[in-house]
Structure 1
Amino acid sequence: MSQASLHGRWTVSSSDDDDDEDIPPSGTTAPKPRRSPSPVPEPTPLEVKAEPVRTPVSSSLTIGSEARQSAARNQLNPVKFENSPSLAGKRKKEASDGSGWALSDSDEDDEVKNDRQVNPPKQAPPNGERKKAKMESERPPSPHGRLYYIDEPDNFFESSVPCLNDTYRFYLNKVTGLDRKYNSGALHIRDILSPLFGTLKESVQFNYCFDIPWMVKQFPPEFRHCPVLIVHGDKREAKARLLQQGQPFPHVRFCQAKLDIAFGTHHTKMMLLWYEEGFRVVILTSNLIRADWYQKTQGMWMSPLFPRLPEGSSASSGESPTFFKRDLLEYLASYRAPELEDWIQRIKEHDLSETRVYLVASMPGRYVGADMERWGHLRLRKLLHEHTDPIPGEERWPVIGQFSSIGSMGADKTKWLAGEFQRTLTTLGKSSLRPDPPMYLLYPSVEDVRLSLEGYPAGGSLPYSIQTAQKQIWLHSYFHRWKAGRTGRSHAMPHIKTYMRVSPDFTQLAWFLVTSANLSKAAWGALEKNNTQIMVRSYELGVLYVPSAFNMKTFPVDTNPFPASSPTSGFPVPFDLPPTSYTSKDQPWIWNIPYSQEPDTHGNIWVPS
């Protein structure tokens, strides 16, 4: 089956045409694209076939997706680009830092299971430092400068509270290799857990992907043995590997989120931090693995420090105008997990009244009647209907979506994107007007990934598969490049997910959402039974900013968010506006096909295994 467009032509075997046939049974290893013995120019059309299922190999790491496995293997054993055909297929033998974490999570296509096995990472040789030095000397000059190759410098982790934007409390992560000014006001996980933000007593970490030993090291020494509860969605072998990671750390406990609908994931990323001084919530886009905090663009909302309520306060005390406390308690209660009961009680005992954002969550299930508006994109639609106002000329106000993974949208745009999701994103107040404004979808091109700080392995956290892409080439006409020069992050591939409505001149925002939810029906939900029911597969969590909660009519866009200095009324949009559309030569990044004609910034090519 072959399809062509301005953004690529691919051929896949007929066995890939049926979504259901793409999904291996539970506990099996997914079919893999065949490894090319040497990097050769891709044929046109490109054929991607699957190998027979192999016996899974156990691993001590929890790498939950096929995309993650592929990138882990490619980063541990990158294929070196050489002009000589006889040398082109040789793999460099140097190992990475030995962690095996080559990429971040990603909410995946509906067709991809989240509990597949992976080959164990290779250990660094005894003379690893010498090998590393050799690898550095063999690298080609980076177009971004030498600093893009280094690890975090000694002064990377701040020793004082960074300059924070207290107006919106929306922050980007620190990125190794950037000019220092582009990290000012940004946060690393060590900053978040620093004693400068409170004297930590206990915490909960909700996430999709974990490296427990790495996570423990991010806590400062004085908090390193404070109790930590891990909320995850792993099952069977993946769960066993996660529990094995936690065995050396008796202060780490686990809570398994229920996933009763096939192909759903526990994709929520949240920290609950309980201090001697109070309580804090952090909702973010990063997994708890080093790669997500190294050279990727991530975002987060960090709450104020919520003080404890006086003894004897009523059940309704400490509520915010956005009903954040009520909604957070409802979200936690929906897990139906005894391990969270103490945390639900602690939140009830604190004053969350300073919160100015709305909670937008997805919870797996099928919902009818009034419950349809509790979760997913119908929850977002309800909030936009109730808490925004119509804008003159709103039919010219574009919608922008930005994400790191793409699910199956259907045969044409009417199946879900325009027929359902776009209606949510274009809701403004109680107006009956249903405009059809422009929609810009920001997703990295092949060239964006190739020239990124990480090179091709960054594409392992952008798991858009050939099997899905070839069925929805119509979607690619919406695509725009990842450009973030204004924030200094054009070459730090995005794992952040944001959605917004912006004025025609790109200077004002009608609303802004940062979330864990990628562009997929699994994340946002899809209507069923003649629109009388919505089905949601995954756990997701984000926060919605609307101007009315900040006593504004619109949010002005901050045209120069870095270096951060003093509080500003401008919103720090994490990419450049206006968006840059794909040209006829641009192709969206597809993670499971080879790219061997040009090397990346590290001199390697991409040959999925």
Structure 2
Amino acid sequence: MSQESEHGKWTVSSSDDSGDEQPEPEKPSTSLLQEAGQEKARVPQYPCSEARKAALKRKSSPLKLSNGDFPRDDAPAQKHKTSPQALGWCLSSSDEEDVSQSRTREEDGTASVRQEGYCAPKEDRRLALSHKSADPPDALPDAWDLLNGGNPFRFFLTKVKGIKTKYNSGALHIKDILSPLFGTLVSSVQFNYCIDVEWLVKQYPKEFRDKPLLIVHGEKRESKAELHEQAHSFKHVSLCQAKLDIAFGTHHTKMMLLHYEEGLRVVIHTSNLIDDDWYQKTQGMWISPLYPRLPPGSVESAGESHTNFKSDLISYLMAYNSPTLKEWVDILKQHDLSETRVYLLGSTPGRYQGNAKEKWGHLRLRKLLKEHATQVPDENSWPVIGQFSSIGSMGADQSKWLCSEFRGSLATLGNGTKALTNPDIPIHLIYPTVDNVRQSLEGYPAGGSLPYSIQTAQKQLWLHSFFHKWSAEISGRSHAMPHIKTYMRVSPDFQKIAWFLVTSANLSKAAWGTFEKNGTQLMIRSYELGVLFLPSEFGLDTGYFHVKENMFSDEPASSFPVPYDLPPEKYESKDRPWIWNIPYTKAPDTHGNMWVPK
């Protein structure tokens, strides 16, 4: 079958047709075999999507042109060479286990950060060292100040290896999040989609590696058995399976609950619990304050925030209907979450009617924006921006979901809004082009975390007219492909933001929900979780944040750090959205390789 438009021509056999609408392909069991003759190394054993599996395969067995010559019209993508002094991230002694198993890389500017014995100059050693008791004294305040200093939003990006030090300023690695600097861990729970148990355990500092760790996942059948096999080696690790009773649903939520002797912390983020997601990708996270324990005898409603974050998080955990998670509900009830300034926005699988329709998904966002957002002048000219790493089936045309129920929710601003009936509110969708991926730090394998399939794309060519390129010069991450997902409402001049959401939810009906029974029922397939930032919760009565012009400057606290460039740049006629399961052999990537997924 062949389909052609201004956004590209693709060919796929009829046997590959699929009508599914999951945000990422169904997760098969994957135990990638080493290619014959390659150096033996630990191979990730996590079950994951077909796209991730293809990326692992191409990393272990890269494809180059046999004659070494590139097509004359398509030069290789420029390698991102960076001096060692600029990389700004070195391995601490707690990384010893990882160094011996470091992945093989092409000899480019990023390889040096993985070599044993390399370390950036002392003044560039930042958060990767913060959890070691032997750290130099000047390294410790950095991480502490990051969580307790001048970041009122508590919104952070992950560190990226291979970019200049200044672009990792204010960024965190998972080892920093789990550092003793932020609390003496008693136990923790990790909610996620794609999990490498051995890798995850090694991210905890050694003194915490025997503390009880609960992993909440959505694996079934062979994948579940594989995960249990992984966890079997770690006596302190237990598993909790999230029920997924509706076809094509996933447990896509990414959250940490960290219980300390000193209190409790909540982390809601966008990264899978695998090495690749914390290496050279753009990811986002919200990290709560340290929530203190309530005095004994406190009433059950104590410790609630103005945003009702505590009760909403408890409701989310209760939706799993798990006795194990009920224990974490009891822990939550014992802590004071009143300092929280964000709203929780989740999705849980089910079919919801009546008042329950507004509890989850895009109708939950609609309710929050209606009740708590502020109307702004000329709001109908304020575009909606969606930025994501995967795309589900939107339907035969834009009226089926994107520009009807979904836009109606995202365009809501206060009680008097007419967004539900206004067809003129612009929608800008940010998704990487083929060239974005080709020219990335990882090259084509970065596309393994962007699982938009040909089977879905060829059925909705109309959607691609909404697409804008990934560009992040403002944060120095244009070459670190996005796995972060964000949504917001911006002013026509792209200088103001009415609201901002960071979430696990991609652009899919499975994640956000879709109407059934003439709009009387909302059906959601997947678990998702995010946090919503509203200006009113940060002392602003203007109804908007200013866009922070420089991610690393000391602009007013009312300026929000959007992690990519505004205004977004629309696809040109030559641009194509990245589609993971078709070959790209016309031009090599930054490692001189081609992409043939199978």
What is the TM-score normalised by the length of structure 1? 0.83
Q: What amino acid does structure 1 have at the position aligned with 2:9?
A: R
Alignment: residue pair count: 529
Residues 3-14 of structure 1 correspond to what in structure 2 (within 5 A)? 3-14=3-14
User: 1:481 aligns to what?
Assistant: 469
Task: Tell me, yes or no, if the aligned pair for 2:29 and 2:48 is still in contact at 8 Å.
Answer: no
Shift of 1:323: 0.2
- How does 1:239-278 map onto structure 2 within 5 Å? 239-278=224-263
Is 1:151 equivalent to 2:140 in the alignment?
A: no
2:221 aligned to which of 236, 241, 262: 236
Aligned-residue offset at 1:15:
3.7
Deviations 1:544-600 (A, max 9, x none): 01111112121111111126x687321110100010111001000000000011111
Shift of 1:158: 3.9
1:319-339 deviation digits (Å, cap 9, x = unpaired): 000000000000001101111
Aligned partner of 2:452 in structure 1 is: 464
Amino acid at match of 2:546: P
Corresponding position: 1:530 with 2:515: no
Is 1:575 the counterpart of 2:538 in the alignment?
no
Q: Deviations over 1:76-112 (max 9, x none)?
A: 11112344599xxxxxxxxxxxxxxxxxxxxxxxxxx
Distance 1:389 1:567, change over 3 A: closer
Residues 57-206 of structure 1 mapped to structure 2, 5 A cutoff: 61-83=45-67, 136=106, 139=107, 146-147=109-110, 150-151=113-114, 154=119, 155=125, 157-159=128-130, 160=140, 161-162=142-143, 163-164=145-146, 165-206=150-191
Maintained 8 Å contact 1:148/1:453: no
Q: 2: distance between equivalents of 1:588 and 1:252? A: 40
Q: Which residue in the other structure is 1:598 paired with?
A: 587
Amino acid at match of 2:489: R
Q: Identity over the aligned pairs, expressed in percent?
A: 63
Q: Is the 8 A contact 2:22 2:249 kept in 1?
A: no
Change (3 A) 1:21 1:285: closer
Corresponding residue number in structure 2 for 1:442: 430
Matched, 1:389 2:342: no
Residues 28, 82 of structure 1: alpha-carbon distance in 2 compared, 3 angstrom cutoff: closer
Deviation at 1:18, TM superposition (A): 5.1
CA distance in 1, matches of 2:533, 2:101: 47
Q: Distance in 1 between matches of 2:385 and 2:56?
A: 31
User: How far 1:16 moved relative to its partner?
Assistant: 4.1
CA shift, 1:356, in A, is: 0.5
Looking at structure 2, the residues matched to 432 and 348 of structure 1 have their Cα atoms a distance apart, in angstroms, of 36
What is the DSSP-based 3-state SS (H/G/I as helix, E as strand, rest coil) of the residue aligned with 2:345?
strand
1:20 Cα deviation from its structure 2 partner:
6.1
Query: Is the contact made by 2:218 and 2:243 (CA closer than 8 Å) also made in structure 1?
Result: yes
Q: Give 1:528's aligned amino acid.
A: E
Conserved? CA contact 1:16–1:22, under 8 Å: no
Contact in 1 for aligned 2:485/2:503 (Cα 8 Å): yes
Q: Which residue of the partner structure matches residue 500 of structure 2?
A: 512
Which residue number corresponds to residue 36 of structure 1?
none
Q: Distance in 1 between matches of 2:359 and 2:594?
A: 45
Q: Distance in 1 between the 2:18 and 2:237 partners?
A: 42
Aligned equivalents of 1:317 and 1:386: distance in 2? Answer: 23
Distance 1:20 1:67 in 2: 15
Q: Which letter maps to 1:262?
A: A
Alpha-carbon distance in structure 2 between the residues aligned to 1:380 and 1:21: 21
1:408 alignment counterpart: 393
Structure 1 residue 372 and structure 2 residue 353: aligned? Answer: no
Q: Give 2:319's aligned residue.
A: 334
Q: Which amino acid aligns with 1:555?
A: F
Q: Which deviates the most, 61-70 or 581-590?
A: 61-70
With over 3 angstroms needed to count, the CA separation of the structure-2 counterparts of 1:409 and 1:27, relative to structure 1, is: closer
Specify the code of the residue in structure 1 equivalent to 2:361: G
Whether contact under 8 Å (1:60, 1:241) holds in the other structure is no
Deviations 1:37-80 (A, max 9, x none): xxxxxxxxxxxxxxxxxxxxxx9812221111111111111112
Residues 319 and 352, structure 1, Cα contact 8 Å, conserved in 2: yes
Give the drift of 1:287. 0.7
CA distance, structure 2, for counterparts of residue 387 and residue 516 of structure 1: 22
Cα offset, 1:241, TM superposition: 0.6
Amino acid at match of 1:585: K
2:329 aligns to what? 344
Change (3 A) 1:414 1:84: same
Letter in 2 for 1:4: E
Structure 2 gaps, min length 5: 31-42, 71-99, 120-124, 131-139
Cα 1:442–1:128 change in 2 (3 A) is closer
Cα deviation code 1:325-365 (max 9, x no counterpart): 00000000110111112111010010000001000000000
Listed one character per residue, the Cα deviations across residues 164-215 of structure 1 (whole Å, up to 9, x for unaligned) are 2431000000000111111111110011001111111100000001111111
CA distance in 1 between partners of 2:451 and 2:27 (Å)? 20
- Letter paired with 1:78: P
| Structure 1 residue ranges without an equivalent (≥5) | 31-58, 87-126
**Which residue does the alignment assign to 1:499?**
487
Task: Tell me by how many angstroms 1:151 deviates.
Answer: 2.5
Aligned 8 A contact 2:438 2:590 in 1: yes
CA distance in 2, matches of 1:523, 1:128: 35
Superposed displacement of residue 389, structure 1: 1.9
SS in 2 for 1:542: strand
C-alpha distance in 1 between matches for 2:286 and 2:576: 32
Deviation at 1:27, TM superposition (A): 9.9
In 1: Cα distance, 2:556 partner to 2:566 partner:
21
Native 8 Å contact 1:151 1:176 kept in 2: no
Q: After superposition, where does 1:273-292 map in structure 2 within 5 Å?
A: 273-292=258-277
* Counterpart-to-counterpart distance in 2, 1:499 and 1:520: 13
Q: Are the aligned partners of 2:28 and 2:47 in contact in 1 as well (CA < 8 Å)?
A: no
What CA distance in whole angstroms lies between the structure 2 residues aligned with 1:128 and 1:338? 38
**What is the one-letter code of the residue matched to 2:591?**
H
- Cα distance 1:67–1:128, how it changes in 2: closer, same or farther (>3 A)? closer
What is the root-mean-square deviation in Å for CA atoms of aligned residues?
A: 2.4
My pick for the range that moved more, 431-440 or 326-335, is 431-440
Give how far 1:14 is off. Answer: 3.2
Other-structure match for 1:43: none
Give the TM-score taking structure 2 as reference length.
0.85
Deviation at 1:7, TM superposition (A): 1.2
| Paired residue secondary structure (1:254) | strand
598-607 or 425-434, which deviates more: 425-434
Q: State the distance in 2 between where 1:128 and 1:464 align.
A: 30
Give the 3-state SS of the residue equivalent to 2:464 in structure 1: helix
